[in-house]
Structure 1
């Protein structure tokens, strides 16, 4: 994959992972291979669109999926928390797939989520799938918040929004080569705003060349595509439509 744009560089000094360090509206951010965002200045970990209990939601409608999405998603999140020891953990909306997902949580999974609040501030930014926020789980509920000078909200707003960090669109990058095509979840940024990939095991991805992204970026978009152990910087001209 092609690394581009000198203002977006890999920091190989980060020993724990192949994270991509960049800036969003002058705030330094770290894009993690897991799809999480790390704000070191605040010791804040941000994850978007977990869509917990999506499997059980589909099962209620007769579409049977393996019921392990919540367990797998929480396992990856716990690994990030163990690696970084954040003081603040932010769920950036659509943490649950629907408004009754919390009721369907296995007791052990609910306990794992509650344990994430131990010794840190846990903030639930609400999204369109979970507008009511959690009912029984610990943490603070917010429509949006400001962290390191960045506006963290679930859904990106139209027009120029310098410093906005959002989720909702589940960005994905596709790259073609003579050997075929590769499609990966990705971060999407132009240095002014940032859209996080979906963190949930069953959450899908929308190609960043889709019309839904049109008009959100003031400069050619850079995709931080998630690899096995590093984030790959992909320039706009290297990105393919589906």
Structure 2
């Protein structure tokens, strides 16, 4: 088994090695922080260009996850685009690829703090997604329960015989899940950061992404 199965609000969820979350009962795949257009935005603002094909690499992983899970609903959990102009700057081949992935599926773009307004990419645009008993929003509400969020791009490190392994990671406790960034070339916040420490319960776990989903104590 390469994924990590767990329960939240009585529902079984799968943390996939790619950084996507799968809800089998709803045939729903959730990804967060795609940050399409990150390279173009950096160049536009006078920064260094990132390696090419960031959108293609992200979409390749998403296509594999959709084919592997056969999900019929997709929730993109905010910050799908890197800034207000990134949607317009998305290459034509990436836009066509997204359209192919959307075909025959319910596709929801949840609002994030980087996202533009409605873009011409199909799907539904919502501030948050309520599918009781679970709630999907971009930024965690400390008072919430049964919540799935993103925004912080959590990462965690693990010492191994070969050295220190640092990967994007899910953060999971009995009340919430915080997803890692799914997009290519996104930064991250250490799971030991005070902001995340305050949000997560004492026995929270981190699930590292990679070839397989690897659960470890968040505060190891």
- TM-score, normalization: structure 1? 0.86
Please give the per-residue CA displacement for 1:125-160, whole angstroms capped at 9, x wherever unaligned: 010000514x21110011111235111001111x33
Match 2:7 to one of 14, 18, 23: 23
1:219 CA drift (Å): 3.2
Q: Does 1:226 align with 2:184?
A: no
Gaps in structure 1 of 5+ consecutive residues = 1-11, 13-17
SS of the aligned residue for 1:66 comes to coil
The TM-score with structure 2 as length reference comes to: 0.95
The CA distance in 2 between the partners of 1:218 and 1:201, in whole Å, is: 29
Quote how far apart the aligned CAs of 1:191 are.
2.2
Change (3 A) 1:68 1:85: same
Q: What CA RMSD, in Å, does the superposition of the two structures yield over aligned residues?
A: 1.4
Runs of at least 5 residues in structure 2 that lack an aligned partner in the other structure = none
Q: Does 1:235 align with 2:217?
A: yes
The Cα shift of 1:83 comes to 1.4
2:53 match: 68
> Which of 189, 200, 217 is the matching residue for 2:172?
189
Q: 1:236 to 1:75 in 2, by over 3 A?
A: closer
Aligned to 1:154: 138
Indicate yes or no: 2:84 matched with 1:99.
yes
Residue 236 of structure 1 and its aligned partner are, at CA, apart by: 3.3
The 2-side partners of 1:176 and 1:153 are apart by 32
Counterparts of 1:35-54 in structure 2, within 5 Å, are 35-54=19-38
Local SS of the residue matching 2:198: coil
Tell me how far 1:177 sits from its aligned partner.
4.5
Verify: 1:173 aligned to 2:186, yes or no. no
